[in-house]
Structure 1
Amino acid sequence: MTAELQRYPRVMAPADQARQQLLYTVGAYGPVRQGQGAAALATLLADLRSGRGDADLIRRLVALADRLQVPLGQVDLAALDARLRRMPVLATDDRLALARLYALAGDLPRAQAWLTAAFLQMLYPAGPLDNVDDLAKAMARTVAILGAWPDRMAACRIHADLAHRFEKRKLGPNGGDLPGLPPLEGCKTG
Protein backbone atom coordinates (compact mmCIF):
# COMPACT_ATOMS: atom_id res chain seq x y z
CA MET A 1 0.00 0.00 0.00
CA THR A 2 2.80 2.44 0.90
CA ALA A 3 4.58 1.85 -2.41
CA GLU A 4 1.35 2.52 -4.30
CA LEU A 5 0.75 5.76 -2.38
CA GLN A 6 4.27 6.89 -3.27
CA ARG A 7 3.96 5.94 -6.96
CA TYR A 8 0.61 7.60 -7.54
CA PRO A 9 1.67 11.27 -7.29
CA ARG A 10 4.94 10.52 -9.10
CA VAL A 11 3.10 10.22 -12.42
CA MET A 12 1.18 13.48 -11.95
CA ALA A 13 2.11 16.84 -13.39
CA PRO A 14 3.82 19.09 -10.77
CA ALA A 15 0.75 21.35 -10.62
CA ASP A 16 -1.38 18.34 -9.69
CA GLN A 17 1.23 17.07 -7.22
CA ALA A 18 1.00 20.38 -5.38
CA ARG A 19 -2.62 19.58 -4.52
CA GLN A 20 -1.78 16.14 -3.09
CA GLN A 21 -0.14 17.04 0.21
CA LEU A 22 -2.24 14.45 2.06
CA LEU A 23 -0.92 11.68 -0.21
CA TYR A 24 2.65 12.70 0.54
CA THR A 25 1.94 12.87 4.26
CA VAL A 26 0.28 9.44 4.30
CA GLY A 27 2.99 8.05 2.02
CA ALA A 28 5.64 9.11 4.55
CA TYR A 29 3.84 7.26 7.31
CA GLY A 30 4.46 3.81 5.82
CA PRO A 31 8.28 3.76 5.82
CA VAL A 32 8.35 5.23 9.32
CA ARG A 33 5.87 2.66 10.62
CA GLN A 34 7.88 -0.15 9.01
CA GLY A 35 11.11 1.08 10.62
CA GLN A 36 12.51 2.17 7.24
CA GLY A 37 12.07 5.93 7.65
CA ALA A 38 15.72 6.83 8.25
CA ALA A 39 16.91 4.65 5.35
CA ALA A 40 14.26 6.09 3.01
CA LEU A 41 15.23 9.63 4.02
CA ALA A 42 18.92 8.86 3.42
CA THR A 43 18.07 7.62 -0.10
CA LEU A 44 16.00 10.70 -0.87
CA LEU A 45 18.76 13.00 0.42
CA ALA A 46 21.37 11.18 -1.67
CA ASP A 47 19.18 11.63 -4.76
CA LEU A 48 18.72 15.31 -3.92
CA ARG A 49 22.47 15.88 -3.46
CA SER A 50 23.18 14.13 -6.76
CA GLY A 51 20.85 16.52 -8.60
CA ARG A 52 18.20 13.90 -9.39
CA GLY A 53 15.54 15.57 -7.28
CA ASP A 54 12.33 16.37 -9.13
CA ALA A 55 9.22 17.96 -7.59
CA ASP A 56 7.89 14.58 -6.46
CA LEU A 57 11.15 13.68 -4.72
CA ILE A 58 11.21 17.04 -2.94
CA ARG A 59 7.66 16.58 -1.66
CA ARG A 60 8.40 13.02 -0.49
CA LEU A 61 11.62 14.16 1.21
CA VAL A 62 9.92 17.06 3.01
CA ALA A 63 6.99 14.87 4.11
CA LEU A 64 9.31 12.14 5.42
CA ALA A 65 11.67 14.54 7.22
CA ASP A 66 8.61 16.22 8.73
CA ARG A 67 7.18 12.87 9.86
CA LEU A 68 10.53 11.82 11.37
CA GLN A 69 11.16 15.28 12.87
CA VAL A 70 14.77 15.03 11.70
CA PRO A 71 16.67 18.30 11.25
CA LEU A 72 18.51 18.43 7.94
CA GLY A 73 22.17 19.45 7.88
CA GLN A 74 23.52 22.51 6.11
CA VAL A 75 24.70 20.54 3.05
CA ASP A 76 21.24 19.04 2.60
CA LEU A 77 19.53 22.39 3.16
CA ALA A 78 21.78 23.98 0.52
CA ALA A 79 20.89 21.22 -1.96
CA LEU A 80 17.21 21.65 -1.11
CA ASP A 81 17.46 25.44 -1.58
CA ALA A 82 19.04 24.98 -4.99
CA ARG A 83 16.28 22.60 -6.08
CA LEU A 84 13.47 24.71 -4.65
CA ARG A 85 14.53 27.62 -6.86
CA ARG A 86 13.51 25.46 -9.84
CA MET A 87 10.32 24.10 -8.29
CA PRO A 88 7.45 24.76 -10.72
CA VAL A 89 4.57 24.97 -8.23
CA LEU A 90 4.37 25.17 -4.46
CA ALA A 91 1.10 24.89 -2.59
CA THR A 92 0.45 26.59 0.73
CA ASP A 93 0.92 23.30 2.56
CA ASP A 94 4.26 22.78 0.77
CA ARG A 95 5.43 26.15 2.08
CA LEU A 96 4.17 25.38 5.60
CA ALA A 97 6.03 22.04 5.58
CA LEU A 98 9.20 23.81 4.42
CA ALA A 99 8.80 26.35 7.22
CA ARG A 100 8.61 23.49 9.74
CA LEU A 101 11.63 21.79 8.15
CA TYR A 102 13.82 24.92 8.24
CA ALA A 103 12.70 25.79 11.77
CA LEU A 104 13.59 22.28 12.93
CA ALA A 105 17.05 22.71 11.37
CA GLY A 106 17.45 26.00 13.28
CA ASP A 107 17.39 28.19 10.17
CA LEU A 108 14.76 30.63 11.43
CA PRO A 109 15.28 33.34 8.77
CA ARG A 110 14.43 30.91 5.97
CA ALA A 111 11.69 29.33 8.06
CA GLN A 112 10.19 32.79 8.48
CA ALA A 113 10.43 33.42 4.74
CA TRP A 114 8.57 30.18 3.97
CA LEU A 115 5.97 30.85 6.65
CA THR A 116 5.36 34.37 5.36
CA ALA A 117 5.11 33.11 1.78
CA ALA A 118 2.57 30.48 2.85
CA PHE A 119 0.59 33.08 4.78
CA LEU A 120 0.51 35.46 1.82
CA GLN A 121 -0.55 32.61 -0.45
CA MET A 122 -3.42 31.91 1.97
CA LEU A 123 -4.51 35.53 1.99
CA TYR A 124 -4.12 36.13 -1.74
CA PRO A 125 -4.81 32.80 -3.49
CA ALA A 126 -4.50 32.45 -7.25
CA GLY A 127 -8.21 31.67 -7.44
CA PRO A 128 -11.16 32.81 -5.37
CA LEU A 129 -11.11 32.10 -1.65
CA ASP A 130 -14.19 29.94 -1.47
CA ASN A 131 -13.78 28.27 1.91
CA VAL A 132 -13.13 30.35 5.00
CA ASP A 133 -12.93 27.16 7.11
CA ASP A 134 -9.92 26.01 5.09
CA LEU A 135 -8.28 29.38 5.65
CA ALA A 136 -8.91 29.13 9.40
CA LYS A 137 -7.37 25.64 9.50
CA ALA A 138 -4.35 26.79 7.49
CA MET A 139 -3.86 29.74 9.85
CA ALA A 140 -4.06 27.37 12.82
CA ARG A 141 -1.33 25.23 11.20
CA THR A 142 0.76 28.37 10.74
CA VAL A 143 0.44 29.29 14.42
CA ALA A 144 1.22 25.68 15.42
CA ILE A 145 4.48 25.89 13.45
CA LEU A 146 5.41 29.07 15.31
CA GLY A 147 4.48 27.38 18.58
CA ALA A 148 7.19 24.77 17.98
CA TRP A 149 9.97 27.27 17.31
CA PRO A 150 12.83 27.20 19.80
CA ASP A 151 13.24 31.00 19.74
CA ARG A 152 10.08 32.24 21.48
CA MET A 153 10.83 35.94 20.96
CA ALA A 154 11.29 35.41 17.21
CA ALA A 155 8.08 33.38 17.06
CA CYS A 156 6.15 36.14 18.83
CA ARG A 157 7.64 38.80 16.56
CA ILE A 158 6.72 36.84 13.42
CA HIS A 159 3.23 36.11 14.76
CA ALA A 160 2.71 39.84 15.37
CA ASP A 161 3.88 40.61 11.83
CA LEU A 162 1.53 38.01 10.32
CA ALA A 163 -1.36 39.26 12.47
CA HIS A 164 -0.70 42.81 11.26
CA ARG A 165 -0.66 41.68 7.62
CA PHE A 166 -3.86 39.75 8.16
CA GLU A 167 -5.67 42.68 9.75
CA LYS A 168 -4.69 44.82 6.75
CA ARG A 169 -6.08 42.11 4.43
CA LYS A 170 -9.35 42.06 6.37
CA LEU A 171 -9.80 45.74 5.52
CA GLY A 172 -9.64 44.96 1.80
CA PRO A 173 -12.27 43.59 -0.58
CA ASN A 174 -14.29 40.72 0.91
CA GLY A 175 -12.14 40.77 4.04
CA GLY A 176 -14.88 41.41 6.57
CA ASP A 177 -15.90 37.74 6.83
CA LEU A 178 -12.38 36.41 7.33
CA PRO A 179 -11.53 34.84 10.69
CA GLY A 180 -8.83 36.23 12.94
CA LEU A 181 -5.34 34.79 13.27
CA PRO A 182 -5.30 32.44 16.27
CA PRO A 183 -3.21 33.69 19.19
CA LEU A 184 0.21 32.25 19.89
CA GLU A 185 0.54 31.06 23.47
CA GLY A 186 2.96 33.15 25.49
CA CYS A 187 2.85 36.16 23.18
CA LYS A 188 1.30 39.53 23.82
CA THR A 189 -1.46 40.57 21.43
CA GLY A 190 -2.35 44.00 20.24
Structure 2
Amino acid sequence: MIDIQKQISMNLKRIRKMRGLSLDRVSALSGVSKGMLSQIENGDSSPTVSTLWKIANGLEVSFSSLVEEKESEVSVVRGIEAAAIKGNEGLYQVFSYFPYEESRRFEIYRMELLPGCRQVSDPHHGGAEEYLYAAEGSISVEIGSRVITLGKGDALRFRAHENHIYENKTNDKAVCHLLIYYP
Protein backbone atom coordinates (compact mmCIF):
# COMPACT_ATOMS: atom_id res chain seq x y z
CA MET A 1 0.00 0.00 0.00
CA ILE A 2 1.37 3.40 -1.02
CA ASP A 3 1.28 6.27 1.48
CA ILE A 4 -1.47 8.82 0.85
CA GLN A 5 0.90 11.72 0.02
CA LYS A 6 2.60 9.69 -2.72
CA GLN A 7 -0.79 8.48 -3.99
CA ILE A 8 -2.09 12.05 -4.29
CA SER A 9 1.13 13.07 -6.03
CA MET A 10 0.83 10.28 -8.62
CA ASN A 11 -2.90 10.81 -9.21
CA LEU A 12 -2.64 14.58 -9.67
CA LYS A 13 0.25 14.23 -12.09
CA ARG A 14 -1.53 11.47 -14.04
CA ILE A 15 -4.80 13.41 -14.34
CA ARG A 16 -3.04 16.64 -15.31
CA LYS A 17 -0.90 14.97 -17.99
CA MET A 18 -3.81 12.91 -19.30
CA ARG A 19 -5.68 16.15 -19.93
CA GLY A 20 -2.65 17.94 -21.37
CA LEU A 21 -2.77 20.70 -18.73
CA SER A 22 0.12 22.78 -17.47
CA LEU A 23 0.56 23.58 -13.78
CA ASP A 24 -0.38 27.20 -14.64
CA ARG A 25 -3.69 26.03 -16.15
CA VAL A 26 -4.52 23.77 -13.18
CA SER A 27 -3.71 26.70 -10.89
CA ALA A 28 -6.10 28.94 -12.81
CA LEU A 29 -8.85 26.30 -12.75
CA SER A 30 -8.49 25.41 -9.08
CA GLY A 31 -7.28 28.60 -7.36
CA VAL A 32 -4.35 26.65 -5.89
CA SER A 33 -0.95 28.24 -6.51
CA LYS A 34 1.37 26.77 -9.11
CA GLY A 35 4.04 26.39 -6.42
CA MET A 36 1.73 24.38 -4.18
CA LEU A 37 0.64 22.18 -7.09
CA SER A 38 4.29 21.53 -7.95
CA GLN A 39 5.06 20.61 -4.33
CA ILE A 40 2.08 18.23 -4.26
CA GLU A 41 3.10 16.55 -7.52
CA ASN A 42 6.70 16.18 -6.29
CA GLY A 43 5.51 14.69 -3.01
CA ASP A 44 7.01 17.57 -1.02
CA SER A 45 3.71 18.76 0.45
CA SER A 46 0.80 17.04 2.09
CA PRO A 47 -2.25 19.02 0.92
CA THR A 48 -5.16 19.80 3.20
CA VAL A 49 -8.62 18.43 2.49
CA SER A 50 -9.67 21.94 1.47
CA THR A 51 -6.84 22.14 -1.07
CA LEU A 52 -7.72 18.72 -2.49
CA TRP A 53 -11.36 19.79 -2.89
CA LYS A 54 -10.25 22.92 -4.77
CA ILE A 55 -8.11 20.83 -7.10
CA ALA A 56 -10.85 18.23 -7.63
CA ASN A 57 -13.45 20.92 -8.38
CA GLY A 58 -11.08 22.77 -10.71
CA LEU A 59 -10.28 19.60 -12.65
CA GLU A 60 -13.93 18.45 -12.47
CA VAL A 61 -12.97 15.08 -11.00
CA SER A 62 -14.12 13.31 -7.86
CA PHE A 63 -12.27 13.89 -4.62
CA SER A 64 -11.60 10.16 -4.41
CA SER A 65 -9.87 10.16 -7.80
CA LEU A 66 -7.10 12.19 -6.18
CA VAL A 67 -6.68 10.02 -3.10
CA GLU A 68 -7.56 6.47 -4.18
CA GLU A 69 -4.96 3.89 -4.91
CA LYS A 70 -4.81 3.02 -8.58
CA GLU A 71 -6.21 -0.40 -9.27
CA SER A 72 -3.66 -2.90 -10.40
CA GLU A 73 -3.78 -3.71 -14.09
CA VAL A 74 -3.59 -7.39 -13.17
CA SER A 75 -5.80 -9.12 -10.59
CA VAL A 76 -5.34 -12.76 -9.69
CA VAL A 77 -7.93 -14.76 -7.78
CA ARG A 78 -6.69 -18.18 -6.74
CA GLY A 79 -9.40 -20.83 -6.79
CA ILE A 80 -8.45 -21.93 -3.32
CA GLU A 81 -8.99 -18.36 -2.03
CA ALA A 82 -12.45 -17.85 -3.53
CA ALA A 83 -15.09 -17.96 -0.82
CA ALA A 84 -17.73 -20.65 -1.30
CA ILE A 85 -21.37 -19.90 -0.67
CA LYS A 86 -23.25 -23.14 -0.17
CA GLY A 87 -26.92 -23.76 -0.70
CA ASN A 88 -29.52 -26.35 -1.53
CA GLU A 89 -28.50 -28.63 1.37
CA GLY A 90 -24.87 -28.68 0.23
CA LEU A 91 -25.65 -29.71 -3.37
CA TYR A 92 -24.87 -26.24 -4.74
CA GLN A 93 -21.79 -24.08 -4.28
CA VAL A 94 -20.99 -20.76 -5.86
CA PHE A 95 -17.56 -19.11 -5.75
CA SER A 96 -17.29 -15.38 -6.37
CA TYR A 97 -14.24 -14.52 -8.45
CA PHE A 98 -14.98 -10.96 -9.50
CA PRO A 99 -17.90 -9.39 -7.62
CA TYR A 100 -20.03 -6.68 -9.16
CA GLU A 101 -18.54 -3.19 -9.32
CA GLU A 102 -20.39 -0.18 -10.67
CA SER A 103 -17.51 0.65 -13.02
CA ARG A 104 -17.56 -2.82 -14.61
CA ARG A 105 -21.24 -3.79 -14.53
CA PHE A 106 -20.62 -7.54 -14.40
CA GLU A 107 -19.71 -10.28 -11.96
CA ILE A 108 -18.06 -13.67 -12.48
CA TYR A 109 -18.71 -16.88 -10.55
CA ARG A 110 -17.91 -20.56 -10.61
CA MET A 111 -20.86 -22.82 -9.82
CA GLU A 112 -20.65 -26.43 -8.72
CA LEU A 113 -23.75 -28.62 -8.76
CA LEU A 114 -23.58 -32.08 -7.24
CA PRO A 115 -25.74 -34.88 -8.68
CA GLY A 116 -29.44 -34.25 -8.12
CA CYS A 117 -29.04 -30.51 -7.51
CA ARG A 118 -31.89 -28.29 -8.68
CA GLN A 119 -31.08 -24.63 -8.00
CA VAL A 120 -33.80 -22.03 -8.62
CA SER A 121 -32.54 -18.52 -9.36
CA ASP A 122 -34.82 -15.52 -9.03
CA PRO A 123 -35.15 -13.04 -11.93
CA HIS A 124 -32.57 -10.29 -12.28
CA HIS A 125 -33.81 -6.81 -13.02
CA GLY A 126 -32.64 -4.09 -15.39
CA GLY A 127 -32.09 -6.25 -18.45
CA ALA A 128 -29.38 -8.43 -16.86
CA GLU A 129 -27.93 -11.18 -19.02
CA GLU A 130 -26.26 -14.39 -17.92
CA TYR A 131 -23.42 -16.04 -19.79
CA LEU A 132 -22.85 -19.64 -18.73
CA TYR A 133 -19.98 -21.92 -19.73
CA ALA A 134 -20.07 -25.63 -18.84
CA ALA A 135 -16.56 -26.60 -17.78
CA GLU A 136 -17.27 -30.10 -16.42
CA GLY A 137 -20.16 -32.50 -16.57
CA SER A 138 -23.62 -31.65 -17.83
CA ILE A 139 -26.11 -29.03 -16.67
CA SER A 140 -29.71 -28.36 -17.68
CA VAL A 141 -30.93 -24.78 -17.60
CA GLU A 142 -34.65 -24.08 -17.51
CA ILE A 143 -35.61 -20.59 -18.68
CA GLY A 144 -39.36 -20.10 -18.67
CA SER A 145 -40.71 -23.09 -20.61
CA ARG A 146 -37.40 -23.87 -22.37
CA VAL A 147 -34.90 -26.43 -21.11
CA ILE A 148 -31.39 -26.33 -22.54
CA THR A 149 -28.82 -28.99 -21.69
CA LEU A 150 -25.15 -28.07 -21.83
CA GLY A 151 -22.24 -30.50 -21.95
CA LYS A 152 -18.59 -29.82 -21.30
CA GLY A 153 -17.42 -26.96 -23.50
CA ASP A 154 -20.92 -25.65 -24.30
CA ALA A 155 -22.02 -22.10 -23.55
CA LEU A 156 -25.32 -20.27 -23.15
CA ARG A 157 -26.43 -16.63 -23.04
CA PHE A 158 -29.87 -15.53 -21.90
CA ARG A 159 -31.79 -12.56 -20.52
CA ALA A 160 -32.33 -13.33 -16.87
CA HIS A 161 -35.59 -11.44 -16.39
CA GLU A 162 -37.56 -14.50 -15.28
CA ASN A 163 -36.96 -17.43 -12.92
CA HIS A 164 -34.30 -19.77 -14.22
CA ILE A 165 -33.27 -23.13 -12.88
CA TYR A 166 -29.90 -24.87 -12.98
CA GLU A 167 -30.11 -28.64 -12.64
CA ASN A 168 -27.64 -31.49 -12.59
CA LYS A 169 -29.53 -34.60 -13.72
CA THR A 170 -26.41 -36.78 -13.93
CA ASN A 171 -24.39 -38.84 -11.44
CA ASP A 172 -21.32 -36.60 -11.82
CA LYS A 173 -20.52 -33.14 -10.49
CA ALA A 174 -21.20 -30.27 -12.90
CA VAL A 175 -18.98 -27.17 -12.92
CA CYS A 176 -19.95 -23.98 -14.74
CA HIS A 177 -18.52 -20.51 -15.06
CA LEU A 178 -21.08 -17.74 -14.91
CA LEU A 179 -20.82 -14.09 -15.92
CA ILE A 180 -23.78 -11.86 -15.09
CA TYR A 181 -23.85 -8.61 -17.07
CA TYR A 182 -25.91 -5.63 -15.88
CA PRO A 183 -26.40 -3.17 -18.79
Q: Compare the two structures and name the one with the higher strand fraction.
A: 2
* TM-score with structure 2 setting the length: 0.25
**Structure with more relative contact order (C-alpha pairs < 8 Å, separation 6 or more):** 2
Bigger proportion of residues as helix: 1
**Larger Rg, first or second structure (1 or 2):** 2
